[in-house]
Amino acid sequence: MSSTHLTRDDVTAAVLAAKRVKQLTFASLAEQLGKPKVWLTAALLGQHPFQPEDAARVGQLLGLDDEQVVVLTEVPTRGSFSPTAPPTDPTMYRLYEVLQVYGPALKQLIHEEFGDGIMSAINFNLDVERREHPGGDRVRITLDGKFLSYAWD
């Protein structure tokens, strides 16, 4: 199959199959590649392009062929992984629900603290960690984006 016919979804499916067969975790792959865990996971799921040298390393670790490796370097159509809005997956829906409930408050607090602008999702870091808690382990998600002021020049 040539890369002109190979889709990013095809490569994502191959990545996930290889990861499963090799019994690898996203965290272990991130460590081996020296990349942030969340960024690497998103990239392997088709949301970011890899630099050619990183794509080649992913290909080696997962046993991908040359055409699949090339597709890993292509700029993706981001946010296209779900055909439904709101998402139907319970985990993703809860994150959507968080933004529905707290999004307006976060917007107001950002404007109060920083002024008229937005938090970048391009100049951005994201982390997920597990925190032990007596009432049950907690999920901590950290969003860390550069503030971008609106320019009205």
What lies within 8 Å, CB to CB, of 47 at 6+ separation is 76, 78, 79, 81
Instruction: Quickly count: other Cβ atoms within 10 Å of residue 15's Cβ.
Output: 21
Q: Which of 82, 97, 129, 149 is catalytic?
A: 97
Q: Which of 78, 80, 94, 149 is catalytic?
A: 94
Q: Which of 78, 80, 82, 120 is catalytic?
A: 120
94 is catalytic: yes
78 is catalytic: no
The alpha-helical segments, DSSP class H, found in the chain are 8-21, 26-33, 37-44, 52-62, 66-72, 90-114
CA distance 43 to 76: 9
97 is catalytic: yes
Task: Judge contact between 52 and 84, C-beta under 8 A.
Answer: no
Tokens at residue 4, please?
A: 């002109």
Q: Which residues are catalytic?
A: 94, 97, 120
